[in-house]
Amino acid sequence: MTIPRPPRLFQRFFEWYCKDTLQETILGDLEEQFFEDLDSYGSWKAKRRFAWNVIRFFRPGIIRSIKKTQKFNTMDMFKNYVKVASRNLVRNRLYATIKISGLAIGIAACLLITLFVIEELNHDNYYPKADQIHRLINRYDDPVNSGKWTAHPPMVASMMEELFPEIEKAGRLIPYDWYFAGKNQVRRIDRIQNSYEEGFVYADQSLLEILSVPMVYGSIDNALSEPNSIVITRRKAEKYFPGEDPVGKTLILDEVEDRPWTIGGVIENFPTNSHLQPFNFFLTLAGEEFWEGEQTSWCCSNYNVYLMLQPRVDPGVLANKMKTLMTDYYVPYLEKRGDQDAENVAMYQGYELQAISDLYLKSGDIGDIIKTSDIKIVWLFGSIAIFVLLLAAINFINLSTAKSANRAKEVGLRKVVGSFRLHLIQQFLTESIIITFISVLLGIILAWGTLSLFNQIAGKSLVMPWLAWWFVPGLTALTLLVGLLSGLYPAIYLSAYSPLEVIRGRLSQGSKSSRLRGAMVVFQFTTSIILIVASIVVYRQMDFILNKELGYEKDHVLMIQGANTLGDKLESFQNELMNIPEVVSVSVSNYLPVSGTKRDQNAFWKDGRSKLDKGVGAQIWRVDKNYLETMGMKIVEGRDLDPSLVSDSSSMLINQKMAKDLGLDDPIGKKIQNWETWTVVGVVEDFHFNTIRYGIRPLAMVVGRFGDVVPIKIKTDEMQKTLASINEIWDEFMPHQPIRYNFMDDVYESMYADVARTGNVFTAFSILAIVVACMGLFGLSAFMVEQRSKEISIRKVLGASLNQIVNLLTTNFLWLILISLTIAIPIGWYLMMLWLEDFTYRIEMGWVTYLIAGAIVIIISFATVSFESIKAALINPASSLRSE
């Protein structure tokens, strides 16, 4: 039988809390009592009394004081760490500079991109009831075709509100160029001078209520409820009615004086993270009917619909329920019209609800005019920033471990006088956190200084959020994180030195981890090369886009905008312009092959087959007699339209693609129909009128005489003079409306602003990456040279040439670069293939790209490495051997 012992757990507990000086006697007393109790009461009670006694001893006077044990020397050691760290920084200025500036660059990049990502992720989430606001999306999904779009027939909004109790409110918006929506000349009714304004939309009164827009003047309950009322934003109110309350005042749009617009209210400017930010003028839809019967017809889908759901309604369930609206009303309409699509619509078309906060980043697959971004861009930016930070952290790790030999004696000595490994790790982590802290400060300054540049590249208007609640804690967390991340490996590595080895001088100088350092250098350069490849590919694609044969000539074409106000004076204006000797031709149209101009999609059939075949969707453009000449488009068959022929009012020019899609082998003279019948008189060569991401689609041209835009083909490079003459003529005709024009090639280029922006981002970051990587490489090569200075001197004494020495010192590094190239090329190739897949017309990714990228990297890195090598090779051998 074993003798019972005092309960172990309580004994442990006692030993843990009791002062060392008291422990022995008290524990002795406790145990003595335990054995006495054991004799008189038995084991169970003795144990209980022991436990109870231990608990009773847990009181002041017995418990070891926290202060006394911690008093140790932590604070003093910490001060010592800081002192040693700062001495080290000062002693190794070069390496400290490389570490700190590299990290600062990485942190600045990270910071800027964090600002960007925060703004992107916080789009359209600020409305008071944002989680209840949804946008109504059409979804079509048959086995072959699929698509999503936002435009609905006019009555859908009010019907939804009536049919489904889950919907609290529905509101419509027309954000396209449509009647007065889009851009207009604007003036107060009591002024004559017009100003050009963009950002006109049609909206329902209920839309203001759904979005709970804050009002500056007027009431949100009736700002748009009267016909012909208009709501403007604060910035426009300040422009047209400085210092007054404009409610009830009147604006004239585009000189249409018989239809004045009365201001019903002034709203606060939409913030930059709202998709409605570009819009400044909200025209009411109350009482609006764009043509007879428009408001009650299912024919035409022109309205975006916003829905405010009741709280806690599941949008997915509701969207499925909404399908009944389509089957009960829209499908019968199509059937009645004898439309081929009725069956497909009934089967494959439905509704979806998109949360308003998803509108900005998750509309990639939705056909929509609203300016949106893509979650992919956020990922791209974010991952690049993290990579740059990683590259900088690698510099830190590499230089710390490389220079470790210099710290080895310190480590050894510290261990001899009693440092534990943990203390040394603490010391090195403190050092790295100090360095990171300096870098973060510098990084913030750097980010602040480059913010405007970054805004330009990213197309944003970000500001430094000095006062945001997360700013200081976030940066502190970043400092600790980066400090730990980059300091941990060196700390573990450095603290592992055995004091004996170090003091005997057995330590080979920093060579132990050279393989790992090599791997990290390879990682840095692989990343840099991929970024360089990406920038080259994007730039080549952009160049390809800008110089592609488009089927029309975009250069030297001036487009006078807002010419619709000329009215009947148009023709004499055109004739005046033709008198300028540099002007080749003058046209007029709303339809031009660049973005920002009108589009009109129709379904066409061969004559008489509209009930039998599937329609061919085609643009129908109204153009005047000089259009083809001004645009430089070519007729490949037949003849141009001739407005002077009465019969040509029903004649049509089609493009090659349309002829093909309609199956017309010999199109001249054939008849085709949409709601009227047309005779094909000519075929125009295919030209790109959408972005060249997509292929060329069918297009038809018919005779038109009026339009917003007057394109002018000019033959000279002496633009200034010609512009002056054009301006003069305009002022004669339209003294109250300033001329507004742009160049077609500029507009074309702006269609690809996103591509240019991607290119800029890649370039900026590949420059950063290569700079950071080269800084690290420079540090490592300087270190290598320092280590081998005696060897170099002896070699020189023995007759080695400059060349041989430089070769000796650079080969190692060049090998690393070559390895990086072989890794980076396939990865870069794969990634850029994915990117290029978005373009129907794209460049071939030839070997030239890689040759350029490789050459750039090899030249830059060779220059970096050889700088120190040549310096070492030129030094007088005596100076480094003397000390021996």
Rule CB under 8 A: which residues touch another protein? 22, 24-33, 35-36, 53, 56-57, 59, 61-62
59 or 67: CB nearest another protein:
59
63 or 121: CB nearest another protein:
63
63 or 326: CB nearest another protein:
63
* Distance of closest approach, residue 9 Cβ to another protein, in angstroms: 16
d(CA 499, CA 421): 11
38 or 263: CB nearest another protein:
38
* Distance of closest approach, residue 498 Cβ to another protein, in angstroms: 38
Whether residue 528 contacts residue 857, with contact meaning beta carbons closer than 8 Å, is answered with yes
For residue 342, how far is the Cα from the chain centroid? 40
30 or 683: CB nearest another protein:
30
Dihedral angle sign, alpha carbons of residues 213, 214, 219, 221: positive
* Distance of closest approach, residue 24 Cβ to another protein, in angstroms: 5
Q: What is residue 287's three-state secondary structure?
A: coil
d(CA 112, CA 444): 9
43 or 801: CB nearest another protein:
43
d(CA 586, CA 336): 46
45 or 705: CB nearest another protein:
45
* Distance of closest approach, residue 469 Cβ to another protein, in angstroms: 49
* Distance of closest approach, residue 1 Cβ to another protein, in angstroms: 18
* Distance of closest approach, residue 7 Cβ to another protein, in angstroms: 14
d(CA 117, CA 379): 9
24 or 543: CB nearest another protein:
24
Whether residue 635 contacts residue 628, with contact meaning beta carbons closer than 8 Å, is answered with yes
* Distance of closest approach, residue 8 Cβ to another protein, in angstroms: 13
Beta-sheet strands, E only, within 43-156: 133-141, 146-149, 151-152
* Distance of closest approach, residue 26 Cβ to another protein, in angstroms: 6
User: How many C-beta atoms lie closer than 10 Å to residue 537's C-beta?
Assistant: 24
Cα radius of gyration (the chain) = 38
What b/e sequence results for 220-229 when a residue is b if at least 16 CB atoms lie within 10 Å of its CB, and e otherwise? beebbbeeeb
d(CA 284, CA 337): 31
27 or 823: CB nearest another protein:
27
24 or 365: CB nearest another protein:
24
* Distance of closest approach, residue 19 Cβ to another protein, in angstroms: 10
- Residue 614's Cβ-count burial label (10 Å; 0-12, 13-18, 19+) is exposed
* Distance of closest approach, residue 51 Cβ to another protein, in angstroms: 13
User: Which residue reads 């044990």 in tokens?
Assistant: 69
d(CA 559, CA 712): 6
Number of helices (H) and strands (E) in the chain: give both, helices first: 28, 25
31 or 288: CB nearest another protein:
31
Whether residue 557 contacts residue 745, with contact meaning beta carbons closer than 8 Å, is answered with yes
Separation of first and last alpha carbons in the chain: 76
29 or 268: CB nearest another protein:
29
d(CA 301, CA 308): 21
CA atoms within 13 A on the CB side of 526: 18
Q: Tell how strand 366-367 and strand 146-149 pair up.
A: parallel
Whether residue 877 contacts residue 793, with contact meaning beta carbons closer than 8 Å, is answered with yes
d(CA 446, CA 213): 37
